[in-house]
Structure 1
């Protein structure tokens, strides 16, 4: 019994020293002292701390505190991954998929994504879904893709939500269901995913999974365009013919981000400019300025 107590005490001391090294490394890293962070994390990594091994891999990959070295990055990621650390498993998978730091091997990438995905790592679930959708490193299987996209989507990965919506809309790997497609597009769109915003606009424009509403279609197309979706502006143009238009009746006016003068100005307009009307409330009109591809609000009293 005495020996057990002594050994337990040694193990506890060792663990405390490892945590101290890691915490000091994190402190130095946050201050931008990368060389010092590298030194501290190396101490704890060599003692078997999987988070330190992962962080050390990141520093070698990014060239922080040390020249970039993908082979050394892979070495430390792999040590952490072998011990079951999901972020490191994702990094190892990424390297196999891209051929950076490891010889390109999509099948090995799929294996490592699967290990992380089974532990609940949302990004691994999403990427594994992509591999099944594309048939890279695994057999092409839309049902498996849908399974992993759903797992990631339920953890709020917006790209997975958008992709799951597309599978439901097109009946790939799941039973075709426009209502569920609309539901998943909506979740991702509201979180800022430009692809989902464009897809949601299309659902409103076509009346799929929701009652047709061209004002909402233009809203989501315009939002997607403002977030960088390249086809959304053209999609918006197709729905604009269904909306009312009004002109600016004063010399100059401001379009704002919200329906009060306390909101930021998002565009300036002049007399005669044409605005498409999406809706009105409390003396303000929500509008779309096609020339600038801008959404916003303007006092209804400034329109004719």
Structure 2
């Protein structure tokens, strides 16, 4: 009787399993960042999003943009937020275009309350 699990099949399966490990760990930083953000731990969220963004995670780049736009855990800085949104867009995350539109369309200094309301995020 012939066995289904030959040494070459086992070796191939091992390679496939090991090849998938970096993919799952690449998302771990983003997921941990979301969890920390939801708990109000902005310092941890910034670190996790930063690590994931450095690995090219567009969702993490957008999240960093949001945190800089809102001033959560960092000083509020629309220019830095716009840079993060542009990086996410370059990675193919089209939803970051919406964020970029709002952060780059800030009302001029001393604008009326009506203008500020019209250009604010919903």
TM-score band, normalised by shorter chain: 0.5 to 0.7
Number of paired residues?
Answer: 95
- Counterpart of 1:24 in structure 2 is 32
Matched, 1:38 2:41: no
- Which of 41, 55, 59 is equivalent to 1:47? 55
Looking at structure 2, the residues matched to 55 and 38 of structure 1 have their Cα atoms a distance apart, in angstroms, of 9
Q: Is the strand fraction higher in 1 or 2?
A: 1
Looking at structure 2, the residues matched to 77 and 13 of structure 1 have their Cα atoms a distance apart, in angstroms, of 28
Structure 2: 5+ residue runs without aligned partners?
Answer: 1-10, 108-122
Looking at structure 2, the residues matched to 6 and 69 of structure 1 have their Cα atoms a distance apart, in angstroms, of 45
Looking at structure 1, the residues matched to 41 and 24 of structure 2 have their Cα atoms a distance apart, in angstroms, of 23
Q: Give the RMSD, CA atoms, in angstroms.
A: 2.2
Find runs of 4+ consecutive structure 1 residues off by over 2 angstroms: 5-10, 93-96
Deviation string for 1:117-152 (max 9, x for gaps)?
xxxxxxxxxxxxxxxxxxxxxxxxxxxxxxxxxxxx
| TM-fit CA distance, 1:15 | 1.8
Q: Which has the larger radius of gyration?
A: 1
Q: State the secondary structure of the residue aligned to 2:73.
A: coil
- Counterpart of 2:71 in structure 1 is 63
| TM-fit CA distance, 1:94 | 2.5
Partners of 1:81 and 1:92 within 8 A in 2: no
- Counterpart of 2:94 in structure 1 is 86
Higher relative contact order (CA 8 A, sep 6+): 2
TM-score normalised to the size of structure 2? 0.68
